[in-house]
Structure 1
Amino acid sequence: MRVFVAGGTGVVGRPLVEGLVDRGHSVTVSTRRRESFELVRGLGAEPVLMNGLDEAEVHTVITAAEPEVIINQMTALSGPSQDYSAWLDTTNRLRRDGTRALMSAARTAGSRRVIAQSASFMTRPGSGPTDEQSPLYVDAPGPIGIHIAANLAAENLVLGTPGVEGVVLRYGFLYGEGTAIGPDGDIVTAIKAGGLPIVGDGTGRYPFIHVRDAVSVTLQAVDRGGPGIYNVVDDEPAAQVEWLPYLAEILKAAPPSRISVAEAGEQIGVQAVYYGSQLPPASNAKAKAALGFTPDYPSWRDGFRKLFG
């Protein structure tokens, strides 16, 4: 099968491309940098240059490749995230404008299916577990609301393009090699320095997913499961008050400090308040039933210890 991976040199993209090639697919990978060509060829795929925000270029590249399946992994999250709003800006544009260009090109190229990444940490604050039908926090303050709106716009484009099977994979917070929660990652560095506090009562429930499990379910989605949205998260939503001290202990760092919700909003930003104290848990039941998702790391507890222990 001809598969096109848009943005296939990132943390998820590299092992995903390797997995696709191992399964016998003919894989084309887009990258923004010519210096990544050698990496892509080393994975057994064909590299092409593509700026995901250049509509004409997206159309030319994808129609030339004539893929049966497109997997959209385009982000711009590899840089430092001190300014959360600025850090998300290009990714938000890729969600809105890049997805629009990609879906138009997919339709012209006659692609059968488009699989696109989104996020499972977008639901409205509440007390109970959430699933793919739960209301999103579209009126969230600041960069959280902007990012959720961009993700929702991308999801609607993927699911609403006539003639194309749209599959949205809402990944949880990724951990593993190359991520912020990996060796030398931003979050790990902050924990070691004592710079990541528990917010309020710390009851925000993080949906974690190991990179390998995210790749596994994405491979399954190439030829399994119907169109729709799937949460790609592990079996145990993690309260910040539990996972943060647990990881600090594994890293042999000092126990995390605590700050109030008001202090977190002023000193860090609205994202710290939402994730740390408001985020409801997300269920992976639909992905298990429809995509055969069986995580190798069903709990972040085992995953963190395996990664850092």
Structure 2
Amino acid sequence: MRVLVAGATGAVGSRLVPLLVSAGHDVTGTARSEARLGPVRAAGAEGAVMDGLVPASVRDVVAAAAPDVVVHQLTALSSITGDFRRFDEDFAVTNRLRTEGTDALLGAALAAGTRRFVAQSYTGWPNERRGARVKTEDDPLTDDPGKEAVRSLRAIEHVERAVTGTPGIEGFVLRYGAFYGPGQALSRTGAVADLIRRGRFPVVGGGTGMWSFMHVDDAATAAAAAVDRGVPGVYNIVDDDPAPVSEWLPYLAEQLGGRRPMRLPAWLARPMLGQLGVAMMTAVRASSNAKARRELAWEPRFASWREGFRTGLG
């Protein structure tokens, strides 16, 4: 099949392109500049310069590629600071790519006769924070993410609604868990890891917030699976081991050679972390990957963050 990977030089896209080429697909990968296309071409794909926020640019590239499948991996995550208080600011460009960029790609895909569209979303903090500690795709999203993440939640809702609700498109939404691995904010040299190593990432309250993690390589294999199989819909792409902050954070600090995390009451942490940050530490819910295992015949190489934090941080 002809596959267009929009965002082929990003965290997932750079790993996805070689997988698709090795599977025999005719792949075109995009980047915002010619200078960044070397690795795409080295992997055996065609390279194309595209600005995901300029509809004419998107339309021209998609028309030239004439893809059977579009994979939307456009993000702008290189400037993530790990400061929950400025969450929407950190994700401002990514949020535009999830709204304006998604609309441009869907419109161009329909015009080009594309039948399947695979898009990146996120799971974890967007989940409803009442009831079960581990959520499925059938559970609702929260209506109160915290004032710092309102725009980011709206962008996630937009991409999911647009991709799964566009007539003529088989829409797949992959809700990735918290990324870690080489090149990520949560890697041995990343910004979040640095905060944890220096003891600046506390366990708040009882550390009861539930997280689901995802190694970036496993995210790529899930996207490759969605190109080839499965029924349209929303899929949680996470490991098998949802865990509370009180378990994973001290373990990660140990693997990073850092200080044991301090413990702070929620009221004292709120000025430092904001509403979203306190919820991430105390109230968020994890996600189940059962649907992806069943429908996409996918399973993560790093089944648990314990193994991943020990051997896969990069």
Q: Same fold (TM over 0.5)?
A: yes
- What percent of counterpart residues are identical? 44
Counterpart among 299, 304, 312 of residue 299 in structure 1: 304
Q: Which amino acid aligns with 1:17?
A: V
Shift of 1:260: 2.3
1:237 has 2:209 as partner = no
Shift of 1:145: 2.3
| SS of match in other structure, 2:27 | strand
| Equivalent residue number for residue 84 of structure 1 | 87
In structure 2, runs of 5+ residues without a counterpart are: none
| Equivalent residue number for residue 287 of structure 2 | 282
Q: Take 2:239 and 2:80, find their aligned partners in 1: how far apart are those partners? A: 26
Shift of 1:308: 5.3
Counterpart among 159, 162, 165 of residue 157 in structure 1: 162
Counterpart among 94, 98, 101 of residue 95 in structure 1: 98
Say how many residue pairs are matched: 309
Residues 46-89 of structure 1, C-alpha deviation per residue, up to 9 Å, x if partnerless? 11111111112111211121000000000111114243221111
| Equivalent residue number for residue 75 of structure 1 | 75
Counterpart among 268, 273, 278 of residue 268 in structure 1: 273
**Superposition RMSD in Å:** 1.4
Q: Take 1:296 and 1:85, find their aligned partners in 2: how far apart are those partners? A: 31
Q: Take 2:217 and 2:172, find their aligned partners in 1: how far apart are those partners? A: 19
- TM-score, normalized by length of structure 2? 0.95
Counterpart among 117, 125, 130 of residue 126 in structure 1: 130
| SS of match in other structure, 1:162 | coil
Q: Which amino acid aligns with 1:281?
A: A
Structure 2 contact 120–173 (Cα < 8 Å) conserved: yes
Shift of 1:200: 1.3
Q: 1:132 to 1:80 in 2, by over 3 A?
A: closer
Q: Take 1:262 and 1:28, find their aligned partners in 2: how far apart are those partners? A: 50
| Equivalent residue number for residue 42 of structure 2 | 42
Structure 2 contact 69–227 (Cα < 8 Å) conserved: yes
| Matching of residues 11-50 of structure 1 within 5 Å | 11-50=11-50
Q: Which amino acid aligns with 2:191?
A: D
Shift of 1:256: 0.3
Q: 1:131 to 1:36 in 2, by over 3 A?
A: same
Q: 1:180 to 1:45 in 2, by over 3 A?
A: same
Structure 2 contact 30–37 (Cα < 8 Å) conserved: no
| SS of match in other structure, 2:5 | strand
Q: Which amino acid aligns with 2:2?
A: R
Counterpart among 212, 216, 219 of residue 221 in structure 2: 216
Q: Which amino acid aligns with 2:312?
A: L
Q: Which amino acid aligns with 1:216?
A: T
Structure 2 contact 145–276 (Cα < 8 Å) conserved: no
Structure 1 contact 130–282 (Cα < 8 Å) conserved: yes
Counterpart among 141, 148, 156 of residue 153 in structure 2: 148
In structure 1, runs of 5+ residues without a counterpart are: none
Higher mean C-alpha deviation, range 223-232 or range 26-35? 26-35
Shift of 1:253: 1.2
| Equivalent residue number for residue 175 of structure 1 | 180
Structure 2 contact 9–37 (Cα < 8 Å) conserved: no
Structure 2 contact 87–149 (Cα < 8 Å) conserved: no
| Equivalent residue number for residue 113 of structure 2 | 110
Q: Which amino acid aligns with 1:36?
A: R
| SS of match in other structure, 1:269 | helix
